[in-house]
Structure 1
Amino acid sequence: MNEEIEIAGIKVPKADWDATPPSIQALVLVLSERLDHQSERLSQLEEKLNKNSKNSSKPPSTDGFGKTVAEKKRSKKPKNRRPSVTGSRQVRKLQASEDCDRVEEVMPTVCAECGSALHGLDSHPHRHQVIELPPIEPMVVEYRLHQLSCEGCGHLSRAELPIGVSASGYGERLSAIVSLLSGPYRQSYRQVCSLMADLFGVSLSRGSVGRLREEVSASVSAPVNEAKRYVQAQPVVHSDETSMPQGNRDGRNPQGRKGWLWVLVSPLVSFFEVVFSRSQASAKALIGESFSGIVNSDRHSAYGWISLENWQVCWAHLKRDLTAIAQRTGVSQEIGEALLRREGRLFRWWHRVRDGTLSRQQFMAQVEYLRRGFKAVLAEAASLPIAADEKTPLAKTVRTCRRFLKVESALWTFVSTPGVEPTNNAAERALRPAVIWRKTSFGTQSQKGTLFVTRMLTVTASLKAQGRNILDFLTQACLAARMGQAPPSLIPQPTLTDKSLPEGDIPV
């Protein structure tokens, strides 16, 4: 019986291999090693090429228009939609007739069928309302500052502007509108000038736009600082960060350091801040080193100082990593699919908890068994032997599972703690307007510009969560600064809380 040996993964008769010239044997071994290296390199390039928003931290906007790895499954069941009265058009809610500025009675005079004259009134006529905007004209107030001469010494004294009247020549509401257009609505200086001229007939220079932005930014400084202290005192917060470039036009960034926009989200108040660091020190300064609540975030090392009992690691980020593992081949695929099955089961149960069809106690009991299986798969994968410098797909999988095991207990905080979500979607959604702002403006050019951006983001996100009017708030803040009075607060009042939300729950 011929003995076989394995050469380059292929079994060949030992006699044939021994009969092969040494030079050919050496060539086979070199080519085999080179092939293994090229295969490993090809796997790395394929994985990098196949990265998308489903298996990495790339945003959905980078996926393009082609088919994604996992096509969305469309249900074949007909959607049970209620047809509107006017077909496909959405019916607008009508105002009460007494609230209308004018009511026009339109009467038919002749029959549409036979042409006979019509008389009488319809007790329930069809109501059609038209909303129109009147021509908007700016209101100009002239202050005549008289200068009088003293009869005793002859000194000329001129009256000063009344308290609250700005020397800039623009009122507080106009200043608020300029900041609103330049801030949350992301219009450039030129576009703001054009809009003010077209909509209100007000001529502004780009320099005036910049000065009004700085004034409004300064007027909301105190409310924004108060919002930071309020968020840091909440029992549950969501945190995330993204890049936000800042130029050196004012000499405040001579090294050209990269700016990072951090956000801290609570149910009704959010706080934004830009710093030149993504380190643990920045996270501690944002959240508060003595913070005793629960932080919901991704697995970024900046949050490593938080105790596992006070940390909820985002399952959305975790799912992307598991998807990347499952899209590899061999053992990695088996590990990824096993973990994804448990992740899918976990979220099916969680959705039932949120819908009220599964009690918290039942959920906790079911998760206990699932958690043991999830941890066992991670431990088995983490125990696989790999070299320290190995870069194969399996080595990546093993290292990822080892990192998961280090924070494993922080994956399940939401299970037993009401008010904690399994994902960090609240912070992700809060950052979305900022990301769009960054893409259209390429960041800021000065520290004042950065402060304007972060303060407007804080004001906008907080007021929207509370259902308050942003323009009214900015107007009141600007007027208070001019009058030397206390500014309005971003802290929610009891009458402003959303009663539809359970106490402590964060909408995601």
Structure 2
Amino acid sequence: MNTQLQMQVNALNASLNSLQQSFDAQTALITQLNQTIQELREQLNKNSKNSSKPPSSDGFKKPAPKSLRKPSGKKVGGQEGHQGTYLSVISDPDEIVKHMPSACEGCPHYKMCKGTACVAEKRHVIDAVVTVNVVEHQLLEIPICMLHGDTRKGSFPNDVKATVQYGENLQALSVALNTVGAVSVKRTHEILSGVFNIPLATGIISNMVKRCADAVSETVNRIKQKVADSSLGHFDETGTRVDKKLWWVHDASNCEFTYLDISPKRGYLGMEQCGVLPLFHGISMHDCWASYWSYEDCQHAVCCAHLLRELTGIAENHPEQKWASAFIGLLIKMKKVKDKAVEAGKETLSYYHYHKFDKRYDELIKQAREKNPLPVTAEKKRGRKKKGKILALVERFDNYKASVCLFIHNFMVPFDNNQAERDLRMIKVKTKVSGCFRSEEGARDYLKIMSYVGTAHKQGHNAYDAIRKAIS
């Protein structure tokens, strides 16, 4: 009987161990599924306000509010003293149309009354009249020179090279529509052919863009050197499609110059290929992408707008992370204090503010680390332990504190990297409208022209006028 009971106990223990293993496996699976659900929920809740996703990805479900700015209390629209753009008559009218009262039509005294009528009110209609101007260049020949006795023949201007060709104004308009206007080559052909009634083929438009890009190549190289020699540079990158593949447009710019280049790589190799950061020794403003920290010959500044979006995402998806909302308030407070100091003509903050911000920064880092300790696992695996996005952001704030807070120590450094994002915005518009670039050569030509036009705009020049001068 003892032996039989012992066998029953062993069988029950084996069954219990099997059930325990099954329970442990189900518990691990539930934990993994809960983590997956949480990650998917966070991904579903992401938008342009709480992540690095562009506003175009929001669709019809726009986040409200899209900005962390608070209402200023000012009225909506243009503020007092704002110099607006409006219609005005800048010259004498080309045509005058007089309107008599409709009741006077058919009256026997119509002509007499019309001669004594005075102008009660004037209204102007400003319109553009499209005309095509054809200039014929004739080469004259003198059969016998009275002085030398030989035959003399004139010469065409340097810019008149073909039997029939397009003028500078039409070329500049075609290039401006295709590049600055982000209109595809086919639609540019349709618009201009319809407006001017000229057989402007798509291949001709592509050749115009190519010639303009070649004309500005030397200027773009000088722009690149100017950015590399500057004391503050904004750097960013964005993806686009080239020949059905993902390529990356790299931007290096400041308030005076814009340089754009393209590479199949986003990280260090792409930055090396574009060639600005290897020569740069000033303050590099970027979004904390890991590859930027490979350059140690320059000082780094982190875009706080990107950090605010990540903090907003944590505050919305993890309400228990109270430190995230507090960090948002700290960064905005730091910006407000700096802006007031700049308006007052100061170059630095007071010791009180530096000490206050530094102490509060460290307190929030401590709270965040206590709330998000490094996970302890019994399994021994190679490599670094998985931290998760929240702890990774906390460590980023801790490790790069000097770069995050540089904007309050050096007033030349802005709070965000909006300059680079503005310079890259037209790339996304071009990609959205035209779909992609057919070839690497076409993408490089487009970026050369946009670098030239972007710099011209910052220097106070009109885009069309700048392109026309480049062509001429």
Normalised-by-shorter TM-score class: 0.7 to 0.9
Q: Deviations over 1:261-287 (max 9, x none)?
A: 111111122111112222224324432
Question: Deviation at 1:80?
Answer: 6.7
1:258 aligns with 2:253: no
- 2:147 corresponds to: none
Q: How does 1:39-118 map to 2 (within 5 A)?
A: 39-66=34-61, 68=63, 79=75, 92-95=86-89, 99-102=91-94
1:139 aligns with 2:134: yes
Are the structure 2 counterparts of residues 21 and 107 from structure 1 closer, same or farther at C-alpha, using a change threshold of 3 Å? closer
8 Å contact kept, 1:241–1:260: yes
Counterpart code for 2:284: V
8 Å contact kept, 1:280–1:304: no
Are the structure 2 counterparts of residues 63 and 447 from structure 1 closer, same or farther at C-alpha, using a change threshold of 3 Å? closer
Are the structure 2 counterparts of residues 431 and 83 from structure 1 closer, same or farther at C-alpha, using a change threshold of 3 Å? closer
Counterpart code for 1:209: I
- 1:287 corresponds to: 276
8 Å contact kept, 1:138–1:200: no
How far, CA to CA, are the matches of 1:228 and 1:25 in structure 2? 66
1:334 aligns with 2:334: no
Question: Deviation at 1:359?
Answer: 4.2
Counterpart code for 2:299: N
8 Å contact kept, 2:304–2:415: yes
8 Å contact kept, 1:313–1:411: yes
Q: How does 1:24-35 map to 2 (within 5 A)?
A: 29-35=24-30
Secondary structure in structure 2 of the residue aligned to 1:39: helix
- 1:246 corresponds to: 242
**Which structure carries more helix by proportion?**
2
1:422 aligns with 2:429: no
What's the C-alpha RMSD, in Å, of the aligned pairs? Answer: 4.1
Secondary structure in structure 2 of the residue aligned to 1:46: helix
Q: What TM-score, normalized by structure 2, do the two folds share?
A: 0.78
- 1:219 corresponds to: 215
Question: Deviation at 1:420?
Answer: 1.5
Match of 1:385 among 374, 393, 405: 374
1:450 aligns with 2:443: yes
- 2:454 corresponds to: 461
1:376 aligns with 2:363: yes
- 2:310 corresponds to: 321
1:172 aligns with 2:147: no
How far, CA to CA, are the matches of 2:212 and 2:471 in structure 1? 6
- 2:334 corresponds to: 346
Question: Deviation at 1:346?
Answer: 2.1
Secondary structure in structure 1 of the residue aligned to 2:262: strand
Secondary structure in structure 2 of the residue aligned to 1:444: coil
Are the structure 2 counterparts of residues 159 and 423 from structure 1 closer, same or farther at C-alpha, using a change threshold of 3 Å? same
- 2:256 corresponds to: 268
Q: Deviations over 1:369-394 (max 9, x none)?
A: 22332233224534723147899998
How far, CA to CA, are the matches of 1:442 and 1:147 in structure 2? 56
Secondary structure in structure 2 of the residue aligned to 1:386: coil
How far, CA to CA, are the matches of 1:141 and 1:157 in structure 2? 20
- 1:181 corresponds to: 177
Counterpart code for 1:407: Y
How far, CA to CA, are the matches of 1:291 and 1:76 in structure 2? 39
Question: Deviation at 1:212?
Answer: 1.7
Counterpart code for 1:376: E
How far, CA to CA, are the matches of 2:138 and 2:242 in structure 1? 40
- 2:470 corresponds to: 477
Counterpart code for 1:79: K
Q: Deviations over 1:60-96 (max 9, x none)?
A: 1111222527577996979377999xxxxx9935345
Secondary structure in structure 2 of the residue aligned to 1:295: strand
Q: Deviations over 1:209-241 (max 9, x none)?
A: 122221111111111111111122221111111
1:229 aligns with 2:222: no
- 1:299 corresponds to: 288
8 Å contact kept, 2:183–2:434: no
The count of residues paired between Structure 1 and Structure 2 equals 432
8 Å contact kept, 2:348–2:408: no
Secondary structure in structure 1 of the residue aligned to 2:241: coil
Are the structure 2 counterparts of residues 453 and 76 from structure 1 closer, same or farther at C-alpha, using a change threshold of 3 Å? closer
Are the structure 2 counterparts of residues 283 and 367 from structure 1 closer, same or farther at C-alpha, using a change threshold of 3 Å? farther
Counterpart code for 1:233: D
8 Å contact kept, 2:284–2:298: no
Gaps in structure 1 of 5+ consecutive residues? 1-19, 85-89, 150-155, 248-255, 480-508
Counterpart code for 1:478: I
- 1:504 corresponds to: none
How far, CA to CA, are the matches of 1:78 and 1:214 in structure 2? 48
How far, CA to CA, are the matches of 1:157 and 1:260 in structure 2? 57
8 Å contact kept, 1:240–1:298: yes
8 Å contact kept, 2:369–2:391: yes
% identical equivalent positions: 21
8 Å contact kept, 2:284–2:300: yes
1:38 aligns with 2:38: no
Match of 2:390 among 383, 393, 397: 397
Q: What TM-score, normalized by structure 1, do the two folds share?
A: 0.73
How far, CA to CA, are the matches of 1:177 and 1:367 in structure 2? 53
Secondary structure in structure 2 of the residue aligned to 1:267: coil
Counterpart code for 1:372: K
